[in-house]
Structure 1
């Protein structure tokens, strides 16, 4: 087996392990972190069903961001929606046979990468052009956007500028899933793209990008506004003599 395939297999296995274990540990930390105060952002739903609908609207439509800043919402929602299509399109490299919904998304997913990069460019421009956002931006904020842009641009380059051997690439990715390593095309753009993706997977659990699962554990979003009807008491505070 070529050393290149072995090296990238080790890199991707390690990155995937860091992603899964890191996110699991973070979620475990979120679950164990007490929320001693009742602090839903008003106006807030008064029932758990309403909370579920609120979270659904936040995940799908970015409702609070829409109310806060229309320009940020446009770029942010465009990026996330396009990213979803890009990820769905990439599922074809891990399936044989390919599911019909994944086949149907191929035509749209090919151009979703352009929308993803456009959304990222808008979000990065915001970091420089809006005074109050530039003031609170840290180097890591810029580096995360640069990394995502580099992944998107390298992917678009392989799609529209210099094509790679996708048949060999699919054989390699399927081999990773089946623990049966196959040769990896020695395409510089592909190698750069995979290395950047591995880096993103590795840093995801320790970066601000973890807001994806973190949204569901935010007490301003996941609490019902019912302090008069029901006393809020965290499990760690419920001890002997307390009610």
Structure 2
């Protein structure tokens, strides 16, 4: 629902952040650099960029590693990244620790931080620590866990190991999934709808016109018509 609302929200102004691309292909390339390499964050603060990269790419590898619980047979590349995913959890933990320390130590960041910001970090830390605990300290029956999730995907309820690590880990994940749609974590899909990043810098060539403004009087002579669909 949030993503659909983002897609329907008009962008009445031409506000790409300079230097902005002049073509749609350039916008795609810019978004790729932003999503894959956090380009704007790299330019603004290198330390935060390091922690963000450790957390996000560590989380990506950990999530891909977890695909083994939802596939049978396990895809070859998922099997290949299993050892890498274990080390990625340490990177994820280091990134989260750095981001949390930043909110506590840096005065201006601490001033604008709300309780929900700390809650998000605490949830992620709890998920990572409980997951690493099951890997290194409290081994669980992963075959039973996989059987539970494979059955759940087919609307069959199988027995889930009632071990503390499993219950804590999955409980925290469930809480995170519940609050995700009403939290700042929606920046993940929201970045693809940010007009400051997704707009073409062609205000000199075309007049930007939102759909809701299409009933306005016609333009005076000499002013080019807006692009189709804008």
- Rate the CA distance shift 1:238–1:165 in 2: closer, same or farther, 3 A: same
Establish whether residue 147 from structure 1 lines up as the match of residue 87 from structure 2: no
Q: Distance in 1 between matches of 2:22 and 2:46?
A: 27
Q: What corresponds to 1:48 in structure 2?
A: 24
- 1 or 2 for the larger relative contact order (CA 8 Å, sep ≥6)? 1
Establish whether residue 196 from structure 1 lines up as the match of residue 167 from structure 2: no
Summarize the alignment of residues 1-243 of structure 1 with structure 2, pairs less than 5 Å apart.
Answer: 25-239=1-215, 241-243=217-219
Runs of 4+ in 1 over 6 A off after TM superposition: none
Q: Secondary structure at the match of 1:227?
A: coil
Q: Which has the higher helix share?
A: 1
How many positions carry a matched residue from both structures? 219
Q: Distance in 2 between matches of 1:191 and 1:240?
A: 58
Q: Which runs of 5+ in 1 are unaligned?
A: 1-24
Q: Distance in 1 between matches of 2:59 and 2:209?
A: 39
Q: Distance in 1 between matches of 2:169 and 2:157?
A: 19
Q: Secondary structure at the match of 1:39?
A: coil
Let me know the Cα RMSD of the aligned residues: 0.8
Q: Distance in 1 between matches of 2:12 and 2:218?
A: 14
Question: What TM-score does the superposition give when structure 2 sets the normalisation length?
Answer: 0.94
**Worse-matched range after superposition: 127-136 or 88-97:** 127-136
TM-superposition CA deviations, 1:98-157 (whole Å, max 9, x none): 111111110100111111011000000000111111110011101110001000000000
Q: Secondary structure at the match of 1:194?
A: helix
Q: Which runs of 5+ in 2 are unaligned?
A: 220-230
Q: Which one has the largest radius of gyration?
A: 2
Question: What TM-score does the superposition give when structure 1 sets the normalisation length?
Answer: 0.89
